[in-house]
Structure 1
């Protein structure tokens, strides 16, 4: 089974979510199911029971997914990385060559990627274009909205 690279912060976030789902949400859902079945014994027509059962199924699926990801996790301590060359974990400041707009993003593992928060997966088109480059480089990226060109302004190693 292939490993999943992720930052220490990403690993901690998945571990916290797993703990919350197993220690808090799982017992709460079991209690809701028990209460709903006590309130209305006809379980087929008991909408609260059916809703809680569905939510329990989704929670258990997410728990299994988190356990699998954490079992395959290869945690990379970004604070121990350095250098001018962009690689996994780098926080990069870019300038859009068309608009002049500045963008800051960190290259992270797929489980922790959140483009709205500036965390891009190492397998994303932008990250693939950036990896191996350094300050001053200009990269071209094919996006759904058309081709984009970015200049690398800064490479930092933030935890």
Structure 2
């Protein structure tokens, strides 16, 4: 059975647009690069041709990846969530108990994770620790630097 990808409606639309771009605009650009590189002659020592073919391989790999996601996705519905606990799609304000700093994160599916921008995967240790918890709960996260402790201050959908 194929892996199920949990996506927000916003991310689903982004992936559909990306696939359309890859199959229309980007595929033509890469084909043109290959055609131009072939015109340079001997393919055995043609670095432009090799580079264009590598780009084509990356493009087809990404197309296959996006098509797989779009064939096996489930949209996260906000109304399915308990408003009193952290669920997929929740935005959570936490207090780092060691440094007394407030931080805000959104718990998302693995395809949407972007920790540098506050979007943590439900499959990450921090995401797993937060899921199902209510305001006021304290969670612990095992990290390479030791155990990190947080208190949940606020949950938004």
Give me the TM-score of the superposition, normalised by structure 2: 0.94
Contact 1:7 1:78 in 2 (8 A): no
Aligned to 1:59: 59
The 2-side partners of 1:87 and 1:111 are apart by 16
SS at match of 1:151: strand
- Structure 1 runs, 4 residues or longer, greater than 2 Å off: 77-82
Equivalent residues in 2 for 1:31-110, closer than 5 Å: 31-38=32-39, 40-78=40-78, 81=81, 83-110=83-110
Number of matched pairs: 156
Per-residue Cα deviation, 1:8-57 (whole angstroms, up to 9, x for no partner): 1221222222222111111100001001101x120111111110110110
1:8–1:78: 8 Å Cα contact kept in structure 2? Answer: no
Matched with 2:22 is 21
Q: Contact 1:94–1:152 (CA<8 Å) still a contact in 2? A: yes
Change (3 A) 1:129 1:80: closer
Task: Give a deviation string over 1:69-124, Cα, whole Å, max 9, x none.
Answer: 11101011337745111111111001100001111111111111110111111111
Gaps of 5+ in 1: none
SS of match in other structure, 2:7: strand
* TM-align CA RMSD: 1.4
